[in-house]
Structure 1
Amino acid sequence: MDEENMMQVIEVTEAAQLVFAGSGGAVINAVDSDGSNRIDAGSGNDTVLTGAGDRIFGGTGDDRFFIQTGGNNRITGGAGADQFWIANNGTVPITPNRVTDFTPGEDVLGLEGFGTDFSAVAIAQQGADTAVSVDGQALAILEGVEASDLSEANFALVDEGANGEPDLAALPAATPAPAFDTLTGIPFEVTGEGQQFAFGSADDLIDASGDTGANLLRGRFGNDTFILGRRDRIVGGGGDDRFFASVGGNNRIAGNAGADQFWIAVSDTPNRRNIIRDFTDGQDVIGIAGLGITFGDLAIQQLSGNRTRIGLNGGVLAILQNTEASSLTAADFAIV
């Protein structure tokens, strides 16, 4: 059996959802999505068939992104040698897609069905970015890339049917991945380190999964959604907030007022445990999604200093400060 037929197959068909694929590699079919989704492919060598108007993260691994006709996606490949097939089947997307982290010499831009003559490809500087087009039709914007750094060596031009795009009809049936709705507000992406951000009264979507740590994020008011990165301090503020741990970990989280959800593992376990400073028994919820476990699989242990450790398979998912282990029951957890 070939590798793709052994992968998890995930279909994204709704709108404004937060989808986590997890580790191990997956085929993610977002062709029929209704847009405004945030799709996290997780670690592994993933294959993503894009829809329209989504935010897509490849994560760690050598990922492949196959652009369909919709366009207007924003794609981050993440670590690894990624392939961005920015036009396929001889058809250009309705709206150009944006690639945030194309790395010349490591990643590849692919065109399928437009012939193999590179002279049809145009590369033009647009401010700090580079625009790529074929036969005068815009295909993609490469953010932060100098046009002078690109040449034919950065491209793969192949005949129709030769790009390795998976045949969806031949793949196993799709399986559900953890998906959370509804995403509201204008997404704000945190990059870099050592910064401070304070948000207002709206329901904010704050994505720090790509940062490098030591940031302070304050949600203040509203029902905010945080996608966590690594080594940050996060304060939810007022409102019913949601916190989703990514693979980074080592964050310090305070929900503050409201009925908050602390998703300490979603489709994968964090590299380091996160610390929750103010879990409120009977009001807040600890969530675990996509790991195929039950409450009985967790190791809940009292530590000194009125702290509780939540472990799984010998690892540590989270430390709850100011919490007695004896006070935690299955009713405090959402495991899906």
Structure 2
Amino acid sequence: MVGCDDTDVQFGTTGDDEITAEGDWAMVFADAGNDTVTGSDGHDYLDGEAGDDALTGEQGDDALIGGEGNDALDGGEGMDYLVGGAGDDIMTGGLGEDVFHFIGGNDRITDFALGEDVLVLDAFLVNFGIAFEAAFSDAAEVVDGNAVVDFGDGNALTLDGITDVAEMDVFWFMC
């Protein structure tokens, strides 16, 4: 499926889809299946929904939502917001200041930039019995040059190339 100029809204099927958005602004809801979704050079909202999806934002300020499954998200150039969703996900923000939202699973962020990117954690991952910053730092260890933060219950986050999580901008989302 290929979209049209200006504003582009597309819906996938329950099967495996290949969707390419076009125009200045695009919204894609891929539905179930193992989908490959490529955004436009404008601003995109790409929602993989269920399945093992590959979402690429290209240029522009994009929101990529992985959903259930083991997803690969690549924001491309621009200020992007990436949510892996349930499952084991790989997130790459690309050029620009990005926000990575971790909600569980065993995820990897390939290009977190200290002082530029932001990490948002869902509240259920945080132990409220101790200070948040201390809990985050205490849960982290460096393995093969990458910070690995183990939140327990099968939830862990690997940050490629990060060796000091104390330097990160981290927030938790209470809802």
State the TM-score, normalizing by the size of structure 1. Answer: 0.39
The answer to whether the 8 Å contact 1:118/1:152 transfers is no
* Aligned twin of 1:50: 66
- 1:21 correspondence with 2:39: yes
Separation in 2 of the partners of 1:83 and 1:119? 21
Q: Shift in Å at residue 20 of structure 1?
A: 1.0
| CA shift digits 1:209-266 (9 cap, x unpaired) | xxxxxxxxxxxxxxxxxxxxxxxxxxxxxxxxxxxxxxxxxxxxxxxxxxxxxxxxxx
Greater relative contact order (Cα 8 A, min sep 6): structure 1 or 2?
A: 2
| CA shift digits 1:40-89 (9 cap, x unpaired) | 11111111111221221100011011232x221111110011011112xx
With over 3 angstroms needed to count, the CA separation of the structure-2 counterparts of 1:130 and 1:153, relative to structure 1, is closer
* Aligned twin of 1:77: 93
* Aligned twin of 1:133: 150
Q: Which amino acid aligns with 1:145?
A: I
State the TM-score, normalizing by the size of structure 2. Answer: 0.71
With over 3 angstroms needed to count, the CA separation of the structure-2 counterparts of 1:105 and 1:29, relative to structure 1, is same
Q: Percent identity at matched positions?
A: 23
Q: Which runs of 4+ in 1 moved over 4 A?
A: none
* Aligned twin of 1:306: none
With over 3 angstroms needed to count, the CA separation of the structure-2 counterparts of 1:156 and 1:31, relative to structure 1, is same
Separation in 1 of the partners of 2:63 and 2:39? 11
3-state SS in 2 of match to 1:104 = coil
Separation in 2 of the partners of 1:130 and 1:63? 22
Q: Which runs of 5+ in 1 are unaligned?
A: 1-5, 88-92, 161-336
Higher-Rg member (1/2): 1
Q: Which amino acid aligns with 1:120?
A: A
Q: Which runs of 5+ in 2 are unaligned?
A: 1-23
The answer to whether the 8 Å contact 2:98/2:116 transfers is yes
Separation in 2 of the partners of 1:153 and 1:73? 20
RMSD: 2.3
* Aligned twin of 1:117: 132
Equivalent in 100, 103, 110 of residue 100 of structure 1: 110
